[in-house]
Chains A and B, each alone.
Chain A
Amino acid sequence: MGEETRISERVISRRRLLSLSVVGGAAALLVACGGGNETPSADETQSAGGGESAGSGGQGTTPAASGDSGDAELADEQVFRYASQEPEDADPGITGSPWSLSELFEGLVVIDPRDGSFIPSMAEKYEPNSDGSKWTFTMRPGVVWSDGTPITAKDFEWSWKRVMDPQTASKYAAIFYPIQNGEEVAKGELPPDELGVKAIDDSTFEVTLKEPTPFFPIIAATWTAYPVPRHVIEKVGNRWLEPENIVVNGPFILTEWKHDQLMVFEPNPNYWGEKPTLTRAEFILYDDATAKGLPAYENDEIDHALVPSSEYDRVREDPVLSKEMQGYPTSSTEQIHFDCSNPPTNDIRVRQALALGFRREPLIKDVLKDYYLPAPTILPDDIPGHNPDAALEGDLEKAKSLLAEAGFPNGQGWPEDFTLVYRNTSPLPLIAQYLQQEWKQNLGITVQLQPMEPRAYVEWRSARETQPYNAHMGIWGSDYSDPSNWHNQLYASNADFYKTHWKNDEFDSIVAKAMTMTDPDARAAEYAKAEEILIREAAHVPIYHGQRFFVTKPYVKDVYHFPTAAAGSWLKYIKIVK
């Protein structure tokens, strides 16, 4: 900028300036219209990393991967290149978004990304006691860290206590609340040693639960339950994840990590399981992998890329790319969250008016061009308890009358600085502007928009514990296909992940009871009832269910993306063929 202020001191002949601008303008026009490769430049959060874990995995129920390898011959070079981004928090015990942790670590149990089945990993076998309130895990003999140190039950005891220690400030401690004293330890009411986990000896790990938790193995498979190397952390502290220090137990180890630039994974020689086919996986880190990945893919810089919603049209119509593209639902829902302790959104009629005050079909069909799936309710359809009948009933007229009833007829008296906060990553700016305009047109209210960098948004949201706000948009992707991952972990008033300060006693008691029910059908019915309350109270308003599309080079086979974030390594299965 400083240059421009010196224009008056610089001497350019008029003719030269003219000719330069004509040439420059023509060049710009040619580049923009004439085609030819654009150098990539964008900045977006890949849906795999931004916000709440819409997983580093994501594939559908069909185990069909991007191209089955079948009998194809393997290539000599087994190198896979991908686009990703710098993780917000890297530590498995702290982060709320798992990034590529499943490549580096394995927990007691691993969820197979090919079909969602359970693979006993660090634990050779596990079983509950008679009433399901205690689970005993027997360690697999001979498992070691990548530096050769043996992994024992004591590692798990230490790692899990570390997660719940308030000093660790884990963003995902809530996942261990089912463990006895879990909540009390996380809140600082009890010391970490009181957590209901114990290494009876080096090879037996016992978990005592607050109540019978039938789906506990799923929790044991999530990234927060990964073992972390105590001997490294106690030596180097926060820097234990840097390539020179890092010690892992998963199929891959991080051999290079140039922050914000590049991550390289290579097979872990001390991994207990089947060796991967890949010899090297390079993840180029972009600040916006969603928008930068596809151009890099088309430039042959990477082998597999997410198709951003803005490029979806073009890829769909492209003769080559459309064949390489495949869709994968992601068991996720983007939502609007309201502060229920702060006017005007403390009034349920206002919340319902806002929920009904925008047209859903044009948003999904025209603005988002069917890249995402419509979401009348919050639980995605692969989760038991999914209840489409619970959708909020009403139309724009109803929204208007609700708003008038609440004291803002035609938007009169509406607070001028009502602000909607959101991450500035695609497609949220588009949705936010759509909502702003819809609410203005249909309800007569003005809403200010405040976009934020994803990292800043996460910080801002944590601070909402004590600071008032109006509304924000946040997404959740299932960590595992169980409704407790949603209702109990996000919306129950003792969790309040989105800091809405919403408290509904009926909802709280239903979901607390349902979590420990052993009969799957009755359990699903209870959660469906809870869903009804959730939607009616409109503290959280669903916008769309996630789905994403990837393009894969024809020589890359067996790429699996599981819908939820708790699945194990997908790099393990990838093969490069000739």
Chain B
Amino acid sequence: MAVRPSARETEDAGVKLVSALDRTPPASLYRDAWRRFRRNRVALAGLIYIAVLVVVAVTAPLIAPYPYDVQDVTAITRRPDSTYLLGTDQLGRDILSRLIYGSRVSLLVGVVVQVVIVAIGVPVGLVAGYFGGKIDTLLMRIVDVLYAFPNLLFVIIIMTYLKAQFQHATSGLLVPLKSIDRATGGLLGVYIGLGLVSWLTVSRLVRGQITSLRNKEFVEAARAIGATDARIMTRHLLPNTLAVIIVATTLGLPAAILGEAGISFLGLGVNVPTPSWGSMIADGVSQLRSYPHILLSPAIALSLTVLSFNFVGDGLRDALDPWMKQ
């Protein structure tokens, strides 16, 4: 006579059978998204490029063949050859090494500015979206006004003001800020400026997402069991907007990188001789007809970087789609 399986055992067997037939591992939010992302060839290529770039930036002193500021006056404007793989600029500095160190500047700008954006934009969007009404109107109108600001101009104003302040700084808060500015190659103003003009989009996106989520049942349920507003915002709503935030910051990175490149191109950004792709492009412009290689390397690097972030951002948005469309 066979032993009758218990209810539990039957259940287990059923699950095992279904899983065996299914042959896919149990789904989870992010693993699913990753799978969809992986299938996107272009986005994957972008991700690989970025990963390589990060490695290059981090290990710059190890992999750069020469220091970025050493001038070899016997090798002025040399075209790419075996000693200088990407050639040299007008002062005999190795372009490949400057490109490598320049990646640090670009990536750092991208990351820092996005951190600032998230730090300001997310709370603003969260509060506006959750409370709605007068607070929402007030915050969003402020955002509208700031949107009208010419971004580049604002950053230039901040840069100029800070540089002048740092010059005369002898005491107080300005002194440590001045050392930070020096350490970043003169870009503190760019970080602050770009961060201050770019958080607006994120705040709007977050607000939109929150507005659509706040009337869902799970929020009601949380309220019913006595959760405070703060708890609802941080523990329930925020995680559900993560997808939106991730995509926005990934797509916002290239804007920050291009912004810094533009400002350095104008000569208002990075302190010479720290290389930035933007300032390298400025160096190359005057020599474009005789020595195009000086401009090509940083221009290509910059383009590929911006493209990659865009592809990854697009890919992320597609991959996280169901969650973003909630």
Contact = CB atoms under 8 A, between A and B. Distances in A.
Interface of A: 1-2, 4-9, 12, 14, 17-18, 21, 25, 28-29, 32-33, 38, 41-42, 291, 308, 310-311, 313-314, 359, 362-363, 366-367, 369, 416-417, 419, 424, 426, 429-430, 432-434, 436-438, 440-441, 448-449, 451
Interface in B244-268: 247-248, 251-252, 254-255, 258-259, 262, 267
A5 B198 contact: yes
A41 B289 contact: no
Contacts of A314: 289-290
Nearest to A448: B271
B318 to A, nearest CB: 9
Given A7-B310, A8-B205, A433 B272 contact: yes
Contact of A449 (B205, B272, B296): B272
B interface, size bucket: 35 or more
B255 A367 contact: no
B122 to A, nearest CB: 15
Contacts of B6: none
B286 A8 contact: no
Given A1-B255, A32-B292, A366 B76 contact: yes
A436 B251 CA distance: 38
B71 to A, nearest CB: 5
Given A362-B73, A430-B91, A449-B272, A4 B311 contact: no
Interface of B: 42, 69-71, 73-74, 76, 90-92, 147, 150-152, 155, 167, 182, 197-198, 200-201, 205, 247-248, 251-252, 254-255, 258-259, 262, 267, 271-273, 285-290, 292, 295-296, 299-300, 303, 307, 310-311, 313-314, 317
A21 B147 contact: no
Contacts of A424: 267
20 contacts: A1-B258, A1-B259, A2-B151, A5-B198, A5-B201, A8-B248, A8-B252, A9-B201, A21-B303, A25-B303, A33-B292, A42-B285, A42-B286, A314-B289, A359-B73, A367-B76, A367-B91, A432-B272, A433-B71, A449-B273
A363 B71 CA distance: 11
A21 B255 contact: no
B42 A4 contact: no
Contacts of B69: 437, 440
6 nearest CB pairs, A to B: A4-B255, A1-B151, A362-B73, A32-B292, A366-B73, A8-B251
A212 to B, nearest CB: 47
A311 B310 contact: no
A196 B76 CA distance: 56
A291 B282 CA distance: 13
A32 B288 contact: yes
A311 B289 contact: yes
B290 A8 contact: no
Contacts, number: 120
A308 B90 CA distance: 14
A420 B286 CA distance: 23
B273 A437 contact: yes
A21 B310 CA distance: 12
A316 to B, nearest CB: 11
Given A14-B311, A366-B73, A1 B201 contact: no
B272 A5 contact: no
A520 B121 CA distance: 76
Nearest to A288: B286
A369 B90 CA distance: 10
Contacts of A426: 286
Given A311-B289, A424-B267, A4 B200 contact: no
A436 B285 CA distance: 22
Nearest to A12: B314
Contacts of A436: 272-273
Contacts of B254: 4, 7
A6 B271 CA distance: 29
B281 to A, nearest CB: 12
A271 B64 CA distance: 66
A367 to B, nearest CB: 6
B55 to A, nearest CB: 24
A235 B272 CA distance: 49
Most B CB contacts (10 A, CB to CB) among A21, A33, A366, A416 go to: A366
Contacts of A18: 42
A256 B262 CA distance: 35
A5 B290 contact: no
B251 A1 contact: no
A423 to B, nearest CB: 12
Contact of A8 (B182, B292, B317): B317
B91 A4 contact: no
A368 to B, nearest CB: 10
Contacts of B290: 310-311, 313-314
Contact of A28 (B182, B201, B299): B299
Contacts of A32: 288, 292, 295-296
Nearest to B147: A2
Most A CB contacts (10 A, CB to CB) among B91, B150, B299, B307 go to: B91
Contacts of A5: 151, 198, 200-201, 252, 255
Contacts of B299: 28
